[in-house]
Structure 1
Amino acid sequence: MDAGSMNSSSNFKSHSRGPLQEQFIQRKTSRENLDRFIPNRSAMDMGYAQSMLTESRKGKENPAISSPSRDAYQRKLAEALNMNRTRILAFKNKPPAPVDLYPKDFFSSQTQDKPSKPRRHIPQTSERTLDAPDLVDDYYLNLLDWGSANVLAIALGNTVYLWDASTGSTSELETFDDETGPVTSVSWAPDGRHIAIGLNNSEVQLWDSTANKQLRTLRGCHSSRVGSLAWNNNILTTGGMDGCIVNNDVRVRSHIVETYRGHEQEVCGLKWSASGQQLASGGNDNLLHIWDRSVASSQTTTQWLHRLEDHTAAVKALAWCPFQSNLLASGGGGGDRCIKFWNTHTGACLNSVDTGSQVCSLLWNKNERELLSSHGFTQNQLTLWKYPSMVKMGELNGHTSRVLYMAQSPDGCTVASAAGDETLRFWNVFGVPEVAKPAPKAQSEPFAHLNRIR
């Protein structure tokens, strides 16, 4: 076989491949077929082509027999098929331009993610720092609270001070003598006007902050200092070093209406749920209890709904979730260092995160799914967590001693922290809400009888 035969044979073999592969190879390796046209069969007159091919084969491969009737048939067929045409493959006009069913940027816009919310800037330093001399460095006390009227209360030794966040002015509410003090807890009533003050001598006093006047004293609740307080409308719940929890109705003379017994040591954490139905209590006995008012009986010792024993140190830090009513966060002391999340309907522990240091207090962001924790040794920092992933969003440093107390402004943006270094710091950690909610108006109806009950 000569070279020409070999080349033609080789070309035949290469052309015998699949059409897609062949087209791809030819376009890449050869320029002579770039203008080759592959006709569309829909543009062909197949009947005419068959007729012409049949006529061209007469007398060759299979010659046909001629007859008058056949000739007449061929003439009619030629007229019908327009046999005057000379080309078998007749090319028609260009096909119409394709119609775009979707805009040009449709698919690109589909693949792009929705515009993400701009990342909020979290300042790493405090906006303001105030001196807090004589602040008691005691993990089990609760000496800081921010009321709905935008007034911050802080107990420094035997004195309760009020700082008006709107004006920046400071006033002294009361200074107690050594037999009564020091102050062991403070808590604003929901109206933002009245404040409860727990004392070292086991008493609780109620004050009208506007009139700077004491309204009444609650006695007989506890046998030792009152380190924790929590309001539920007209009910003031007190927790003592004696392990007792007492519900006090401040409207009536016989104020003790319910007693909860479950802790064996000092009650250092108390928080009512937003619905006012469930109470969380934490103690120095490492226990966390959930109490439900639906199972409470007046004037009797009430059984807890859940007794949770997962923490291995004192439980002071408690925070109810603002967007899920049955979700509670709790923090353990130096021997535990964990933040735990609970389903308070079932008592199940949903998650536990080891923070690496003593958890002193917890606050939820009212506008985002975030949790802020304050810590003791060794960094004495505030940590912002993304919930539920619990990824750290930022750490705020500045305090040089453990950050024992935190309080949140009424609009949910600013957090005040007080530490053993005797400083009070303000952090714009939660940002600005999309729609700022105005502080509720003062409602003194639950306290209308306080002036007559002493």
Structure 2
Amino acid sequence: MLRDFTGKRHFPFKGQSEAHEVTYKCFRRRIIQRRCREGPVASTPLAPGRQCEPSFEFDTVCQRLELDSPPRKHEPGQGVLPGNIQEAALVGGLSHSESVNLVNTECTIAAKTRPAAENAPQEQWVWRPAVQEPENLNRSGYDERKYDLQPFATLNKATLSLHGKSVVKLGAPSMLNDYYTNLLDCSCNGMVALALGSSVYIWNSETRDLVGHLDLSPQSGCRYCQSVSSLCWSTDGRALSIATRRGEIQLWDVEHKQNMRFLVSHLTVVRALSWKQQLLSSGSVLGHICHLDPRAFTPLVGVATQREGVCSLQWSPGGKWLASGSTEGLLHIWDDDIMGKKMSSQPVMTVKQPSAVKAMGWCPWQRNIIATGGGWKDGELRIWDTQSASCVTSAQTNSQICSLQWAEKKRYLVTGHGLPHHKVTSWVWEFHSLSPIYQFTGHSDRVLHLALNPDNSQIFSTGADQHFHIWDL
């Protein structure tokens, strides 16, 4: 039915009658009645193929292939919870006190949304047991490119365990090529957690069996926005903390396959996590550090802020100091007095290096010593004394340092490198000397993440080449 400029009604189709006009009047009246009751109004449905950004598991072109510096001020796919303030407002032109007040407001809002949000993970995240590895993977001479690569599927095995040769190479598809993420960790029980996209896979390093993985349910919405940005095992190996690009943190009891807690501590990407006994600290892309006690009804027990984005975070072995690395090349050392939400304290020490402080780690047997690795503009491996705030020794690697781990039982320092070598290096450190002893080659792209098994006999590495390697140390 149409109307001309005079208001007269016309029925352009044959057989159309006043009955259709009555039907339209009823439909229009119902819409008006719903508006009066403040109910939902019918609208044109959205096109199903454009409701969210495509998952990067299927869109490798949209992956962030950035190097460590300069950092990106706005990251694609950053999720912001509806109705909450956006952390993006903190980027420019705010004083320190204004920034702290907004951080406190953000944490308060997140705490208020927690009771309603804690029920969400029961519907969004599910535990899926491991599937049987295909038999054709153990056959020699198969074409890896023709095989639909599965996480932790065996690609090849070395006949001899030699230094510099990978013992086992496994698959790690959908590994995000992001310098600032922390997606690999090994517990004190030898359980390896590896985040691939929006899934977290659990692999037993002793039996070399895939236990299972945590995954989003099909109705969870945009998978890219909920992809994992960092993870970390608790010191006792019982809880696995998982942070997403939306600022959400989940605690999982992997042994019993249960979700222990769901926390909303940030409103943007959580890049780093670190445990201090039962206390969990998290750092966001905009420099906010939240200290959480998952046992409390209101888990937030303290906050801190730095002007630069957090890309690494780690408590010292004794829990006396907290180190935070920034995208602007600053290493901050904080004391353990983190209680309260006013953030009156400042870092006890700040040192600067030419590139982002992403690769970072405390020395287990020298509590005041911390090592940092430089990015592609720097390439320097440095050992710092936090008591004197000085660099004890350094070594030039002529390569981007993406990851760093201390092997306490071997008294080694292990680094993972990017451009141009894509290798893993183990070092021996004495107070005034730092010397490489082994170099492991086999990755075809930068080695983003490192972990070691409990007895420090093996190194686990994964990189942007979608492979997971095991090396004998």
2:387 pairs with one of 319, 341, 345: 345
- Which residue matches 2:140? none
SS for the counterpart of 1:384 is: strand
User: How far did 1:199 drift?
Assistant: 0.4
- Which residue matches 1:187? 232
In structure 2, C-alpha distance between the alignment counterparts of 1:419 and 1:399, rounded to whole Å: 7
Identity %, equivalent residues: 34
User: How far did 1:253 drift?
Assistant: 1.5
SS for the counterpart of 1:148 is: coil
Contact 1:322 1:364 in 2 (8 A): yes
In structure 2, C-alpha distance between the alignment counterparts of 1:283 and 1:326, rounded to whole Å: 20
Contact 1:122 1:394 in 2 (8 A): no
Moved more, 313-322 or 169-178: 169-178
Q: Is residue 319 from structure 1 mapped to residue 364 from structure 2 by the alignment?
A: no
User: How far did 1:328 drift?
Assistant: 0.4
Letter in 2 for 1:277: K
- Which residue matches 1:155? 195
User: How far did 1:300 drift?
Assistant: 2.5
1:416 pairs with one of 430, 444, 460: 460
In structure 1, C-alpha distance between the alignment counterparts of 2:245 and 2:321, rounded to whole Å: 27
In structure 1, C-alpha distance between the alignment counterparts of 2:299 and 2:162, rounded to whole Å: 45
In structure 1, C-alpha distance between the alignment counterparts of 2:228 and 2:446, rounded to whole Å: 19
User: How far did 1:269 drift?
Assistant: 0.7
SS for the counterpart of 1:298 is: coil
Give RMSD over aligned pairs.
Answer: 1.5
Q: Which runs of 5+ in 2 are unaligned?
A: 1-160
- Which residue matches 2:261? 216
TM norm structure 1: 0.65
CA deviation vs aligned residue, 1:370-405 (integer Å, no higher than 9, x gap): 211110011101112221222221211000000000
Q: Is residue 260 from structure 1 mapped to residue 304 from structure 2 by the alignment?
A: yes
Q: Which runs of 5+ in 1 are unaligned?
A: 1-120, 430-454
TM norm structure 2: 0.63
Residues 288-303 of structure 1 aligned to structure 2 (within 5 Å) = 288-294=331-337, 296-301=338-343, 302-303=345-346
User: How far did 1:346 drift?
Assistant: 2.5
- Higher-Rg structure is 1
2:204 pairs with one of 119, 139, 164: 164
- Which residue matches 1:206? 251
CA deviation vs aligned residue, 1:218-241 (integer Å, no higher than 9, x gap): 11x222111111111011110111
2:214 pairs with one of 153, 168, 174: 174
Residues 31-430 of structure 1 aligned to structure 2 (within 5 Å) = 123-176=163-216, 177=220, 178=222, 180-219=225-264, 221-265=265-309, 267-294=310-337, 296-301=338-343, 302-309=345-352, 311-388=353-430, 389-429=433-473
User: How far did 1:297 drift?
Assistant: 4.2
In structure 2, C-alpha distance between the alignment counterparts of 1:280 and 1:300, rounded to whole Å: 20
Contact 1:159 1:172 in 2 (8 A): no
CA deviation vs aligned residue, 1:200-232 (integer Å, no higher than 9, x gap): 11110111101111111111x222111111111
Letter in 2 for 1:303: Q
* Cα 1:369/1:166, change in 2 over 3 Å: closer
User: How far did 1:122 drift?
Assistant: 6.3
In structure 1, C-alpha distance between the alignment counterparts of 2:377 and 2:304, rounded to whole Å: 26
Letter in 2 for 1:339: L
Contact 2:393 2:434 in 1 (8 A): no
Give the ranges of 4+ consecutive aligned residues of structure 1 lying more than 3 Å apart after TM superposition. Answer: none
Q: How many residues were matched structurally?
A: 305
In structure 2, C-alpha distance between the alignment counterparts of 1:413 and 1:306, rounded to whole Å: 34
User: How far did 1:245 drift?
Assistant: 1.1
Contact 1:246 1:259 in 2 (8 A): yes
Contact 1:222 1:242 in 2 (8 A): no
